Amino acid sequence: MNPEKYTIKTAAKTDFEWIKELYAQTWSGDICVSRGKVQKVDDFTGGFVAETGGQNTGFVTYTISGTELEITGIVSLKEKGGIGSALVKAVIELAKKQKIKKICLVTTNDNLNGIVFWQKRGFKLVKVYPGSMEYVRQIKPAVPLIGENGIPLMDELELEMIL
């Protein structure tokens, strides 16, 4: 089967309305809480959007701070067709152009798919924040107690790629 063709573009201001909505659906609110830091989607540095047949089918967002780029979210609405990988590639290319030294991101202990996805794309697991989702729930009370795969959602896992 031929996967549908997609294109990757820099997220425009108008795309951020769509991103914000999908972000909120995916992570129980339009706020990113990672490693004790709180960021609004509106305050992210930028992002990329995947488009398939004129429809947005995925996004990745990031925040740059000094020489570090944090991937603050990634969603593919057409999984296993290459969109997620293409979005990550776009971020890595941008980071290299901007002389970023480290790309980091946080996933959670229940997200087995995410843990596999990032490691297969060259990211290394560098830190576990045991029990940190309790703090996340103080800021975002809608974050569920049970996450994906029926696993209690408890810890943040930090992954990074040194450029």
Ligand X SMILES: CC(C)(COP(=O)(O)OP(=O)(O)OC[C@H]1O[C@@H](n2cnc3c(N)ncnc32)[C@H](O)[C@@H]1OP(=O)(O)O)[C@@H](O)C(=O)NCCC(=O)NCCS
Contact criterion met (CB below 8 Å) for 48 and 59 = yes
Shorter beta-carbon distance to ligand X: residue 45 or 52: 52
What is the phi/psi pair of residue 19, to 5°?
A: -60, -45
Q: Which of 163, 139, 151 is nearest to 27 (CA)?
A: 139
The reply on whether position 107 binds ligand X by CB under 6 A is: yes
Contact criterion met (CB below 8 Å) for 109 and 155 = yes
Distance of CA 10 to CAs 57, 110, 137, 155, Å?
A: 13, 30, 31, 31
The reply on whether position 3 binds ligand X by CB under 6 A is: yes
Q: Which of 36, 50, 95 is nearest to 70 (CA)?
A: 95
Shorter beta-carbon distance to ligand X: residue 95 or 156: 156
The reply on whether position 7 binds ligand X by CB under 6 A is: no
Segment lying near ligand X (by CB under 6 A), choices 10-18, 72-80, 122-130, 138-146:
72-80
- Residue 60 CB, nearest approach to ligand X (Å): 8
- Among positions 77-96, residues that touch ligand X (CB under 6 A) are 79-85
Q: Indicate the DSSP class of residue 99.
A: T
- Residue 115 CB, nearest approach to ligand X (Å): 8
The reply on whether position 46 binds ligand X by CB under 6 A is: no
The reply on whether position 117 binds ligand X by CB under 6 A is: yes
Q: Which residues bind ligand X (CB under 6 A)?
A: 3, 26, 74-76, 79-85, 107, 111, 113-114, 116-117, 120
